[in-house]
Amino acid sequence: MNDSQLSSALGSSEPLTPPLYTSAVYRLPDLDALDRILDGKETGFIYARDAHPNARRLAALLAEVEGAQWALTTSSGMAAISSLILANVESGRRIVASHRLYGRTTQLLQQELPRLGVQTSFVDISDLEETKKALQVPAALLFVETISNPLLRVADVPALARLAHEADCQLVVDNTFATPILVRPLEWGADYVMESVTKMIGGHSDVTLGMVCGNNDKRAELSQVSSMWGFSSSPLDCWLTERGLETLALRMKAASANAAALAEWLPNQTGVVRVVYPGCADHPDHELAARILSGGFGNMLCFDLAGGREAVNRFMHQAAGIPFSPSLGHTTTTCSHPGTTSHRYVDPAEKQRQGITDGLIRLSVGIEELSKIQDELEKGLSDV
């Protein structure tokens, strides 16, 4: 049975869950059909690196949840960042970026882009005057994270969008830690939003995927960059993400509620000397977070152990139910150690300046019963 026979055999029925199209290439009746697809006169697919049905479906769903006119999936969050940069910046241009970013993003800007003739100035984006000053030298992009990795500083997206636009620059927001459930940065004036879909949106630690979206006319250019540089997403990852997306709002709500409760509970536990959570009144961006985030303060939380690296190792051995797995957004609670994982290659002085200490543990809080997480944390903290 070929595909068209299968389609007619389905009659008026259709599968409730979407089909997975693993085909790398599509069969076409003749050259005229190929021309009609490439000229945009007819829908259809030719080669999966350029486009495939699972990416097309997922992109439409992601655009809706982000409040965007278009979205594009990529093979990872880093591919999303790379395609955004390659579509907007050429040799001789400049980027202004937050000095608090995921370590690999900082490395990309610091080590890879200079090889292509693109320089980046890093600024404290919480200091709007400093950011404004940095934008006085022409820059193509201002790059920030809505909630920064790992210490959860919150970006004043509307103010940063204003500053960027006054300087004829575009604001790119990495919304991975917040997800569109907490904030839709395009609505606050951002030009582009990217997400590491690998994390909360995928939600089950079984996909590596990224997304870029916007409300401008750059979709076709980004799609071309993504195809030519080989950043395209795989059908299976898109298919799995579609399932993850269905529960994103529920998961974020439940996980944020757990994180908020833990942020209150953790300061009273022995060995814990600092708790960082944007929902706490003592967080430096608490008021800003309350203004621009809706539906909670997120599922990410950090705490510091007085005993440093050795205490962290003991915690990891003792809290076996909170796996040390250096990612985030899993259904259940996991932990990571930014100093040796996501921010391993950040200059030690910069780490110290930001507060990424040897004792800092980053929790990605899950949706399990709060008491279960507390039990595990108690075990982990029993001898640190």
Q: Where along the sequence are the contacts to ligand PLP (CB under 6 A)?
A: 76-78, 102, 105, 145, 149, 174, 176-177, 196, 198, 208, 210, 342
Angle at CA 242, nearest 5°, toward 236 and 244? 105
* Closest by CA position to 146, among listed 156, 136, 137: 156
* Closest by CA position to 345, among listed 151, 118, 105: 105
**Residue keyed to tokens 């103010």:** 159
Where do the DSSP E strands lie in 251-349?
272-276, 300-305, 334-336
Q: How far is the CB of 35 from ligand PLP (least distance, A)?
A: 36
Between 226 and 318, CB nearer to ligand PLP:
226
Q: How far is the CB of 155 from ligand PLP (least distance, A)?
A: 12
Rounded Cα gap, residues 195 and 187, in angstroms: 16
Length of the chain: 384
Q: How far is the CB of 341 from ligand PLP (least distance, A)?
A: 9
Tokens of 223: 């799609």
Where do the DSSP E strands lie in 175-293?
192-196, 210-214, 272-276
- Strands 70-74 vs 210-214: parallel, antiparallel or unpaired: antiparallel
Closest-by-Cβ residue to ligand PLP is 77
Between 51 and 200, CB nearer to ligand PLP:
200
Q: At what angle do helices 235-246 and 53-66 cross, to 10 degrees?
A: 30
Rounded Cα gap, residues 127 and 309, in angstroms: 31
| 8 Å CB contact between 154 and 147 | yes
Tokens of 305: 């152990």
Between 74 and 258, CB nearer to ligand PLP:
74
Tokens of 329: 């957004």
Between 76 and 179, CB nearer to ligand PLP:
76
Rounded Cα gap, residues 333 and 323, in angstroms: 8
Between 182 and 384, CB nearer to ligand PLP:
182
Q: How far is the CB of 205 from ligand PLP (least distance, A)?
A: 11
Q: How far is the CB of 150 from ligand PLP (least distance, A)?
A: 8
Q: How far is the CB of 74 from ligand PLP (least distance, A)?
A: 9
Q: How far is the CB of 19 from ligand PLP (least distance, A)?
A: 25
Q: How far is the CB of 326 from ligand PLP (least distance, A)?
A: 8
Between 276 and 311, CB nearer to ligand PLP:
276
* Closest by CA position to 341, among listed 332, 330, 351: 351
Between 193 and 272, CB nearer to ligand PLP:
193
CA separation, residue 16 to residues 171, 284, 330, 353, 374 (Å)? 39, 46, 25, 52, 38
Between 145 and 376, CB nearer to ligand PLP:
145
Rounded Cα gap, residues 361 and 304, in angstroms: 6
Q: How far is the CB of 77 from ligand PLP (least distance, A)?
A: 2
CA separation, residue 3 to residues 13, 15, 26, 238 (Å)? 15, 14, 11, 21
Q: How far is the CB of 170 from ligand PLP (least distance, A)?
A: 18
Tokens of 198: 């690998």
Burial class from Cβ neighbours inside 10 Å (0-12, 13-18, 19+) for residue 254 reads: buried
Between 95 and 381, CB nearer to ligand PLP:
95
Contacts of 313 (CB under 8 A, 6+ apart): none
Between 259 and 384, CB nearer to ligand PLP:
259
